[in-house]
Structure 1
Amino acid sequence: MKKALLTIFVLALAASAGYAQTEKGSMYISGNIGINGGSSVSVTNSGNNEVTTKSPRTFSLYLAPQFGYFFADGWEVSGKLGYDLARTNNGTTFDGDNLYNFNHLFTITPGISYHLRLADRFYYTPGFDLSLGFGVSKTQESKDVTRKNYGITAFSMSLSVFAFEFLPSEHFGITLSAGDLTYALESHRNKGNNITTTNTTNDVNFDINMGALIGFRYYF
């Protein structure tokens, strides 16, 4: 009988350790890293002559560390700082050197979410976040000359509808996101010759991604 009670007690402690991450006062770090790039090669044959041309494709880099804090049991607030770089080809110089367009965007994204326990260490985590970003677009006119095209202002709201988290251990969490409802606004403003030109785009998107996006968290 004593052994049975001891076993139940140990199992209860193990289970409670698994749920501690969602209690008030818990914190975590996470983030996103994305890199995409490549090149294309064109080969032209004319008689006995063969010309090979290699062109860079669009290169993108995204960095966004994230910090989260549980201000109440099951309730989490988070903050994310992001940097987004997009580089596209803009032709070549007379010497054959590549020229590029660059878009730089810095963002700050606060958010809130709720953890609803569905099963042992498995939670449904719907959430809402706002994102505000500022940046600039630049163009290389030569290897030594780069000019500013326009300033960038970005704003978005996102509701995570199909979001889940699994807590395999005391300090680690695995997140899965398969669907978001998103509204995004992006404005480009160009000032030159005493004339200001503004282009604004709006986008509403509901995306159900059958291949879920997976992330990782470290709790402390």
Structure 2
Amino acid sequence: MKKLFLICVLAAGMAGYAQAQTTAGNMMLGGTFMYRSEKQETPAEDAKRNTFTFAPQFGYFVADNLAVGLGLDLTTVKIDQPDGDEDKSTEFLFEPFARYYMFTSNDKFAFYAEGALGFGSTKVEPDGDDEQKSSMFRFRVSPGFSYFFNEKWALDFQLSGISYTSENPNTDSDADDDKINTFEFGVSSLSPQLGFRYFIGN
């Protein structure tokens, strides 16, 4: 009987450790990363596109399961053209964010929704041509889920979800036609990103 009671106490403690990581007053460090390689094949020519994204974050739990914080988003794209040219582009954003966790019946798994506002710039470097710079604004809502290994570490699997992006090239003209506005939602925008979280607190 005593052994059964001890097993129940340990099981209850293990079931609750994940949710204890996301209680008010705790902090988290981490981020996501993504690499994608695409090859466009046509009868006339082939082109290869490589994309890499790294997005570190720091968050503070202002309430149970709700964290707010600041992140950075760095994305680089390299396109290898059939004629040997290499085009590059870089995006750099500061991203204030909010994330809310929703735990399942298994306390090691939690779904989450994350909203973020990004402010930064982009730079496009066509091979053999002048570089082009733009200011950039982005709003996104990204769903995902986390697996909690223990009381300190969790693995994230995040999707891009819904996003709205506005780019304004730094030109001498103030014409509205210079701006590029993009809205993404659907399967093509759900590019998965993996990441890790380290929790500081109770």
TM-score by length of 1: 0.70
Alignment root-mean-square deviation, CA? 3.3
Residues matched between the structures, number: 195
Query: What is the correspondence of 1:119-158 to structure 2 with a 5 Å cutoff?
Result: 119-121=105-107, 122-141=109-128, 147-148=130-131, 150-158=132-140
1:23/1:158 CA distance change after superposition, 3 Å: same
Query: What is the correspondence of 1:18-33 to structure 2 with a 5 Å cutoff?
Result: 18-24=18-24, 25-33=26-34
Structure 1 stretches (4+) deviating beyond 6 angstroms?
37-40
Secondary structure at the aligned position of 1:57 is classed as strand
Identity %: 19
1:63 equivalent among 37, 54, 58: 54
1:62/1:114 CA distance change after superposition, 3 Å: closer
Report the Cα distance in structure 2 between the residues aligned to 1:91 and 1:206, rounded to whole angstroms: 31
Unaligned 5+ segments in structure 1 are 43-53, 93-97
Between Structure 1 and Structure 2, which shows a larger proportion of strand residues? 1
* Larger-gyration structure (1/2): 1
Report the Cα distance in structure 1 between the residues aligned to 2:124 and 2:49, rounded to whole angstroms: 15
Deviation by residue 1:13-67 (Cα, 9 ceiling, x = unmatched)? 2222232221221323122142536698x9xxxxxxxxxxx97633433332233
Instruction: Tell me the residue number matched to 1:50.
Output: none
Unaligned 5+ segments in structure 2 are none
1:31/1:176 CA distance change after superposition, 3 Å: closer
Q: Which has the higher contact order (CA 8 A, sep 6+)?
A: 2
Secondary structure at the aligned position of 1:147 is classed as coil
Equivalent residue letter for 2:18: G
TM-score by length of 2: 0.75
Instruction: Tell me the residue number matched to 2:88.
Output: 102
1:60/1:214 CA distance change after superposition, 3 Å: closer
